[in-house]
Amino acid sequence: MKGRTNPRQLLRIKFGICPDCGGDESAPGGLRCAKCRDEQNARHRKVYAMQRANGKPRRTPEKYKELAEEARAKRNDRTSRGQCIQCPNPVTRYRRCLRCRKADAECKRQYRNRQKRKAELKVAA
């Protein structure tokens, strides 16, 4: 149910109905009906094929480690220069500037509210 915040889709999932079309029961072991699952798989295969054709490498565990190491180096570099670890704004006391801290706090607040709504939907049923 990753990324689902639409109340209608959450309700459909709760009752075992396909969240995309709302017409069929979910396939065994999945959220979507067989038709919607096959359509989504076809879309994903098409996107992945286009990415491979454009030279975008597949994300392997080694690639994730490489990206994490690059991000770590960038954060350390910005910290040593007295900059925010997320943007190049200067910081004095914290690792992130006030704008980035406020944005993070807002994001976390929205996440908590979504989790609360999901829990309320589960209890209501």
pLDDT digits (tens, 9 = 90+) for 92-101: 889 999 999 9
Q: How far apart are the first and last CA of the chain?
A: 17
In DSSP terms, 25 is beta-bridged to 17
pLDDT computed for residue 43 by the predictor: 95
Low-confidence ranges of the chain (pLDDT < 70): 1-5, 124-125
CA-based nearest residue to 125, from 5, 12, 6, 24: 12
Q: What is the pTM of this model?
A: 0.53
pLDDT computed for residue 3 by the predictor: 63
pLDDT computed for residue 46 by the predictor: 94
In DSSP terms, 90 is beta-bridged to 83
